[in-house]
Structure 1
Amino acid sequence: MPTPAEELRAAAEKLRAAADAAVDASPLPWSAGHDEDAPIPYIAAMHPGVGAALAAWFESVAFRARHNGSEWVGADLHHALAVARQILGSAP
């Protein structure tokens, strides 16, 4: 079973790779378009910059979890793991 730090690093790598691929596929600025009924505004809001920021957060929390011992538990760790596990498809 992976440690919390390993899970967070795995999610950061997966998310960063997906964000990089999205930029490579469509390097133009991402925008919501004009159809407010479509999920496009949400998709545009979750652009590669958001993915990069989430990946950085995962790495920061993973660093703290690894360096502060396995007994370190905080809101950041719980929230970061919840998001990371959704990305990895390993959410309980």
Structure 2
Amino acid sequence: MAKQLNIRNDEVYERAHRIAADMRKPVTEAMLTLLRSYKPRLPTVEELTPAQRAEYEALRALSREAAKRKRSGATSNHDDMYDEFGLPK
């Protein structure tokens, strides 16, 4: 049995049906066509230019180096700096 996907957003539902009507296909078939043709906005690492790849690798190395210097018990929790409304104390 096929799995079911429930859409709980009116805009998504309306757009899906409008696209299906434009494509003259059932909604499921139209959405499958769109999903198969989907390309992420950011290139994968393999798709980077040599310059982009070098910058990416440099940032990764910097991140690994910074991770080595993390203090034990250090967190990103800054609750002591803000009141109960999220405003600076």
| Structure having the larger proportion of residues in helix | 1
Tell me the TM-score normalised to structure 2 length.
0.28
Tell me the TM-score normalised to structure 1 length.
0.27
- Higher relative contact order, chain-length normalized (CA < 8 Å, sep 6+): 1
